[in-house]
Structure 1
Amino acid sequence: MTDTAVSWAFFLGYLALVGGAAAVGIRRVQGFASFSVGDRRTSPVWVGLALAANLTSAATFVINPGLMYLYGLSGLLGYAVATPLGIFLGLAVLTKAFRRVGDKTAALTVPHWIADRYGSRALRFFFAGLSLLQITFLVLIVVGLTLVLSNVLGVSRPVAMAMTLGIPLVYVMWGGASAHTLTNSVQAVIMIVVAVILIGSGIGLVVGEPGLLARLAAIDPVLAAPVNPESLLFRSVFEVFVANFAVGVAVIVQPHVMSKALYLRDERDVNVYLGVGFAALVLFFSVLAVGLYARATLGGDLLPPDQVVPTYLVERFGAVTRSVVTVGLVAAGFSTLEGLLVALSTIFANDVYKPFARRRGVSEEEADGRAIRFSKAFLVALVPVVAVLSWGQIVDPNLSVAILAQNGVYGLFAATFVPILFGVFVPRVTTGGVAAAAVAALLVHFGMYYGEVGPYWNNPAVPATFALATSAAVAGLSLLVARRPPDTEPAALGRAAEAAAPLS
């Protein structure tokens, strides 16, 4: 059997496994709520694995190791140490409180949560529109999987891209979150196996002589240094540690991540969910070391970052192991791809269509039925947009597709983080205050990046860090300006009766 045939056999086996999980999830769909957040019968262990899979994805397994290859140890310290520490802190602080408020307001999405918390229909539409910035992350995943499938399965890039977009689209359209949670759980288990294989592939370099860092230093001393002044993203302690830690804290408010807390049955499940998620995240982020392995072992000309992992697979592994690893990389990409598709389609149906339907006098039952159809139509319309943008990144990349994805997603969470943080912990924050904070975050993030402001403007994490600080300052200043007595509980919860009809 040829190497390509072996790869196809494992890939088809993976599709059969995921298809079976999706079929179980599809049977659980009983309405728009279960389509959006599942039926809340899934174990917190599986939801925790789905969380870890969604937070890492093809970015961690396929794309970002290329940046480690290019820039060395400084990248590993930033992306595999500082960022996870920020994620752990953000999840530990926000998850329980976010879920508690979401339960009381019956929120299905992050824009829905914000709207109910602040009693504002305008904020619901604003954050629903802002969520489209996640298309940039969809592009990253599609580019990464297209390159891997094309290299390993021996198909053209257009065919590989069609497979990447078409396979998850089918079962997400039918099963929504119910299918996504179960397929993510299966994919996370596969990712754990593959993460161990990838990390183990370079253990000899780490423990042997002359050692991994010594090998990197022999190529270029800056590759073994904690800061790389010659890099694009890790030129100072601020870039490596401060900016990446801030990004980690705030990245959890992405709709496909934060909404995982709403999948849980009750608060007792949260600790199990977080514990499992944290453990899996540590393992998954360790995969970034593959970029250092590749730099130490792959000869020849310097590779483009997005090509490093596909090349490492071909050079390092035999047909069977390479096929197993490829399945894991596909699982890593599909897991987040599904989460994004569910989140975006749910936001469109729940936060754009349903409020409009209620204003037109459509009954709740009829609106729910139509919402599922509209969410599927949205997915069909979204796919060609993502395909066009992804193809542009493949044929004419700007260093790495990671930069495009970071710029878009960082802008989204920079604007979303303070409204959620203050909404949970600062009862008297006003709607106007958080709206101003969100707008300020967008202006600072994109203004610094596209206006080329400051010495590190071209690292999206730096504008995002300043955007977060500015957003918090604006929201804090709004408290001084408002000068009204604190409520006994968050605004939307205190007036739940009047807010429920127009907003939920």
Structure 2
Amino acid sequence: MLSEQAIGWGFFLAYLLLVGGAALLGMRGARGLAGFSVGSRTVSPVLVGLSLAANLTSAATFVINPGLVYLYGWAGYLGYGLATPLGILVGLVLLSRRFRQLGDRYAALTLPQWIAARYGDRRLGVLYAVLSLLLITFMVLIVVGLARVLASVLGIGLVAALVLTIAIPMGYLLLGGAGAHTLTNTAQALIMLVVAVLLIGSGLSYWEGGLSGLLQRLAAIDPNLARPVNPESLLFRSPFEVFVANFVVGVAVITQPHLLSKALYLRSEADVGRYLLVGFGVAFVFFSVLLTGLYARLLMPEAGLVADAVIPTYLVERFGPVVRGLITIGLLAAGYSTLEGLLVAVAAIVGNDLYRSWALRRGVAPDVAERRALRLGKLTLVALAPVLFVLGYDQLTPALSVAILAQNGVYGLFAATFAPVLMGVLGVSLRPRVVVAAALTALLVHFGIYYGQIGPYWNNPAVPATWAVLLSTMVALLGRWMPQRTGQPA
């Protein structure tokens, strides 16, 4: 009989063959910088929607956040599993169609390029390209979460698992770029659907008596676990934290480069509706995996686990080796799907927005600039590997969860991005200096509240981000009434 580790390695190698094959197919659409950044734009909207769903729900949803739900109960699920997806739905419906239309008009390959073209100032592209490096904090969350899963299933050390986690997507993205990313995401999303059903169904016995039965079982462990607000938690202490902050985060999170830019992969405006229906519908199923955190608490009420170790431990306690191996592949798919999107976005931003635009202004021939930009984008992927290893190694033993580092960094990025994207999509003209003022307001408020420890909920990154989004949007609206420069894009 095969050992548990042999079964785990078998599933893992099968997964590598699957995504490797998808990457080889994606190489056909990776010719030139545009192919590397957004693919060939001949992919079905259903596949792009699956890619979006996979990117929306990463290792944070399948591995890390269930651990926070395990610690803090029903309030955590309401915040991360309902309020945030509702905000995401609003953001997608509000922004995707118009963003794609303007992306075609400006021939934009990245979100920074879109902002620069929309407001008629190349310097804005540079500003947002630099800010996009905050995405690295979210990459760290993913590689740490996946390393923990791999170490548990394959029987290897955390450091070895961390190296393996980083090396795998680097390889096939260097070959296929966005073409590989979209196709591998599709394959991963299908795997994730199967695994999501298994995880959601793993605690059906706890639903005997319906929702009230589930909450009664949680209340028997700790009454705070069954309440919509958990005053003893670090993240869900008030209705504002649970509902308002997570909803605002959900709306604003869509402005992340690797998410909103999915609309640029579509062939035509007619594809947007199916893309949104598939993307959000599948994503909502994925968000329901957060219920596993409640199941884990009921199964292991006194385990005292750290948040990031909950799901790997739950898999060992709840499933046999074969099913556990299959679920592990789904968890890897959940993490790699988003990690790939982040890596492609950052590589394209460095190549396109930091080099290509500069080279063209210096008189470099367009074809030469594009070849060099593509080469620089791929070198960026290589350079990111040691950065992710060093930061990931540091977060293998965080104070609470690697989620705090990731949220603090990426929330700062989308807080600074939200106002100019919203105004640009809605057709509101802003002067470039107003865009800069809104971005700086967002950064000052978000990081000022968090590191200045201002207010009672400063240590929950969603709260500083919410105030940053609201105040920076107010600054943009006030700036709207300033005199407009002649020739400003409408």
| TM bucket normalised to smaller | over 0.9
Q: 1:115-155: per-residue Cα shift (whole Å, max 9, x none)?
A: 00111121111100000000000000000000000001101
One-letter amino acid matched to 2:95: L
- Report the Cα distance in structure 1 between the residues aligned to 2:62 and 2:288, rounded to whole angstroms: 10
Contact 2:86 2:247 in 1 (8 A): yes
TM alignment of 1:69-468, pairs within 5 A: 69-207=70-208, 211-394=213-396, 396-468=397-469
Q: CA deviation at 1:418?
A: 0.3
- Report the Cα distance in structure 2 between the residues aligned to 1:110 and 1:265, rounded to whole angstroms: 18
- Report the Cα distance in structure 2 between the residues aligned to 1:241 and 1:300, rounded to whole angstroms: 28
Q: CA deviation at 1:477?
A: 1.2
One-letter amino acid matched to 1:230: E
Which residue pairs with 1:60 in the alignment?
61
- Report the Cα distance in structure 2 between the residues aligned to 1:43 and 1:163, rounded to whole angstroms: 31
One-letter amino acid matched to 2:268: D
Contact 1:437 1:475 in 2 (8 A): yes
Which residue pairs with 1:471 in the alignment?
472
Contact 1:428 1:486 in 2 (8 A): no
One-letter amino acid matched to 2:77: L
Q: Is it true that 1:35 corresponds to 2:36 in the alignment?
A: yes
Q: 1:137-176: per-residue Cα shift (whole Å, max 9, x none)?
A: 0000000000000001101111111111001000111110
Aligned residue-pair number: 488
Q: Partner of 2:230: helix, strand, or coil?
A: coil
Q: Which range moves more in the overlay, 430-439 or 309-318? A: 430-439
Which residue pairs with 1:501 in the alignment?
none
Q: CA deviation at 1:28?
A: 2.4
One-letter amino acid matched to 1:440: T
- Report the Cα distance in structure 1 between the residues aligned to 2:441 and 2:80, rounded to whole angstroms: 26
Q: Partner of 2:165: helix, strand, or coil?
A: helix
Q: 1:284-315: per-residue Cα shift (whole Å, max 9, x none)?
A: 00000000000001154310000000000000
- Report the Cα distance in structure 2 between the residues aligned to 1:24 and 1:301, rounded to whole angstroms: 45
Which residue pairs with 1:499 in the alignment?
none
Q: CA deviation at 1:32?
A: 1.0
Q: CA deviation at 1:486?
A: 10
- Report the Cα distance in structure 1 between the residues aligned to 2:248 and 2:241, rounded to whole angstroms: 10
Q: 1:173-228: per-residue Cα shift (whole Å, max 9, x none)?
A: 11100110000000000000000000000011112599321111011000000000
One-letter amino acid matched to 1:223: L
Contact 1:37 1:262 in 2 (8 A): yes
One-letter amino acid matched to 1:368: E
Q: CA deviation at 1:68?
A: 0.2
Q: Which range moves more in the overlay, 361-370 or 251-260? A: 361-370
Change (3 A) 1:486 1:364: closer
One-letter amino acid matched to 1:192: L
- Report the Cα distance in structure 1 between the residues aligned to 2:362 and 2:156, rounded to whole angstroms: 49
Q: Which range moves more in the overlay, 204-213 or 328-337? A: 204-213
Contact 1:212 1:296 in 2 (8 A): no
**What is the alpha-carbon root mean square deviation over aligned residues?**
1.3
- Report the Cα distance in structure 2 between the residues aligned to 1:180 and 1:365, rounded to whole angstroms: 24
Contact 1:82 1:245 in 2 (8 A): yes
Unmatched tracts of structure 1, length 5 or more: 495-504
- Report the Cα distance in structure 1 between the residues aligned to 2:92 and 2:297, rounded to whole angstroms: 33
One-letter amino acid matched to 1:247: V
Which residue pairs with 1:9 in the alignment?
10
TM-score (norm 2): 0.98
- Report the Cα distance in structure 2 between the residues aligned to 1:380 and 1:71, rounded to whole angstroms: 38
How many percent of aligned residue pairs carry the same amino acid? Answer: 61
Contact 1:212 1:293 in 2 (8 A): no
- Report the Cα distance in structure 2 between the residues aligned to 1:214 and 1:297, rounded to whole angstroms: 14
Unmatched tracts of structure 2, length 5 or more: none
Contact 1:26 1:174 in 2 (8 A): yes
TM-score (norm 1): 0.95
